[in-house]
Amino acid sequence: MSNTQQRQHARPAPAAIASEHTPLKARKVAFAWEGTPLHWIPGDPFATHTINVLHLLLPAGERWFVHVYKQVLPLIRDDRLREDVMGFIGQEAVHSQAHDDVLPHLREQGLDPTPYTAQVDWFFEKLLGDRTLPPGKPRAWWLKERVALIAAIEHYTAFLGDWVLNAEELDRRGADPMMLDLLRWHGAEEVEHRSVAFDLFLHVDGSYRRRVRTWAAAFSALVFLWQRGARFFMENDPSLTDGKASFGQFYRAGSRGVLPSTPAMLRSIPRYLSRTYHPSQEGSTAQAVAYLANSPGANGLADGRNGGR
Ligand SMILES: [Fe+2]
Ligand SMILES: [Fe+2]
């Protein structure tokens, strides 16, 4: 064995927890928005709108996941992984549509997000879309790069999913149950399928350098798009005279428990960059599956304001 082979052999590798694996299926969901107030976290427009940014990013973002994964499917040489990816595609397609369905309600409340969503569409469809690349290595490189970007983004969707499943402060503050159920159904499915994108990345490439590079790109893009989205909502909210969004507000909302805390977000960075990281080490499949079994929206109970709350 050469020195290089010995070094590679000795490197710690991602360690999956097998018991966290679960078969994936898309659920038929139903939500109704007529009764959801503009500030669905009462008295907290900033936290409301920071979470609302999800409705702007996810429709285009998750459509893009599906678009990229359909191109990867023929390259998968493992039957269980192929099934996982197909389940993932089904779930993300429903997520994208469910968040898109909130937008008409925002428009009715005087918040037309079209100027912002046009930028998000450009970002995913053009900047991260299929480029006119020659077949062979350049196309394969761009596909691997996007698979790695999705794995990095899914680290954060799983982080947010785990956060919202446990964000009891939102219940204590009287957050709208319909919106909470949408977020927790989606969050639970993110926790449920949290290993798929990373397993696919390991299957098609798994290079550590690519993991680090694409994490940096994904994290920077998420921070940039998110703060822009929060500012957009705060500045265009018809009920606010001088709506602003700042990092200080974000930090304080995180300390109150109505948004993820900044320290928790910072701690999640070295975890993803650890050579032994595997998403199955984070969050709880049992908690996610238990939520999904009782989620009114995931069981088609949108009428009667989410199962007669
Ligand atoms: Fe999703
Ligand atoms: Fe996801």
Looking at the predicted structure, is the pLDDT value of residue 214 above 90?
A: yes
Instruction: Give the ligand whose atoms come closest to the C-alpha of residue 24.
Output: 2
* Cβ pair 190, 157 in contact under 8 A: yes
**191: in domain:** yes
Nearest-angstrom CA–CA distance, 56 and 100:
8
* Cβ pair 66, 60 in contact under 8 A: no
Q: Distance from the CA of 202 to the center of ligand 1, in angstroms?
A: 20
Scan for tokens 């947010």, then name that residue: 160
Please give the mean pLDDT across all residues of the chain: 93
**16: in domain:** no
- Mean of pLDDT values over 234-244: 94
**14: in domain:** no
Q: Distance from the CA of 250 to the center of ligand 1, in angstroms?
A: 23
Looking at the predicted structure, is the pLDDT value of residue 307 above 60?
A: no
* Cβ pair 174, 89 in contact under 8 A: no
Task: List the shell of residues around ion ligand 1, using CB closer than 5 Å.
Answer: 92, 95
Domain range holding 229?
28-308
**7: in domain:** no
- Mean of pLDDT values over 289-301: 93
3 state SS of 85: helix
- DSSP H helices, the chain, are 3-10, 45-72, 79-100, 103-108, 114-122, 137-165, 168-172, 177-192, 196-204, 208-236, 247-256, 262-273, 285-294, 303-308
At 165, the amino acid letter reads L
Q: Distance from the CA of 62 to the center of ligand 1, in angstroms?
A: 6
Instruction: Give the ligand whose atoms come closest to the C-alpha of residue 150.
Output: 2
**145: in domain:** yes
Q: Distance from the CA of 245 to the center of ligand 2, in angstroms?
A: 27
* Domains of the chain: total: 1
**15: in domain:** no
Q: Distance from the CA of 239 to the center of ligand 1, in angstroms?
A: 30
Higher pLDDT: 4 or 95? It is: 95
Query: What is the pTM assigned to this prediction?
Result: 0.93
Looking at the predicted structure, is the pLDDT value of residue 202 above 50?
A: yes
Looking at the predicted structure, is the pLDDT value of residue 306 above 70?
A: no
Q: How confident is the model at residue 13 (pLDDT cuts 50, 70, 90)?
A: confident
At 122, the amino acid letter reads W
Q: Distance from the CA of 193 to the center of ligand 1, in angstroms?
A: 9
Instruction: Give the ligand whose atoms come closest to the C-alpha of residue 153.
Output: 2
Q: Distance from the CA of 190 to the center of ligand 2, in angstroms?
A: 5
Q: Distance from the CA of 95 to the center of ligand 1, in angstroms?
A: 5
| C-alpha triplet 273, 229, 240: angle, nearest 5° | 140
Query: Nearest Cα to 145, choosing from 135, 130, 125?
Result: 130
Nearest-angstrom CA–CA distance, 129 and 94:
21
**12: in domain:** no
* Cβ pair 186, 95 in contact under 8 A: yes
Each residue of 89-110: pLDDT tens digit?
999 999 999 999 999 999 999 9
- Count how many Cα atoms sit within 13 Å of the Cα of residue 129 in the half-sphere of its side chain: 11
Q: Distance from the CA of 3 to the center of ligand 1, in angstroms?
A: 43
Each residue of 157-200: pLDDT tens digit?
999 999 999 999 999 999 999 999 999 999 999 999 999 999 99
What is the share, in percent, of the chain residues with pLDDT greater than 90?
A: 86
Q: Distance from the CA of 242 to the center of ligand 2, in angstroms?
A: 35
Each residue of 55-93: pLDDT tens digit?
999 999 999 999 999 999 999 999 999 999 999 999 999
Q: Distance from the CA of 54 to the center of ligand 1, in angstroms?
A: 10
Q: Distance from the CA of 95 to the center of ligand 2, in angstroms?
A: 8
Nearest-angstrom CA–CA distance, 160 and 80:
26
Looking at the predicted structure, is the pLDDT value of residue 309 above 50?
A: no
Looking at the predicted structure, is the pLDDT value of residue 294 above 80?
A: yes
Each residue of 114-167: pLDDT tens digit?
999 999 999 999 999 998 777 889 899 999 999 999 999 999 999 999 999 999
Higher pLDDT: 42 or 133? It is: 42
pLDDT of residue 303: 55
Nearest-angstrom CA–CA distance, 100 and 61:
11
Instruction: Give the ligand whose atoms come closest to the C-alpha of residue 29.
Output: 1
At 232, the amino acid letter reads F
pLDDT of residue 18: 78
Q: How confident is the model at residue 305 (pLDDT cuts 50, 70, 90)?
A: low
**290: in domain:** yes
pLDDT of residue 308: 42
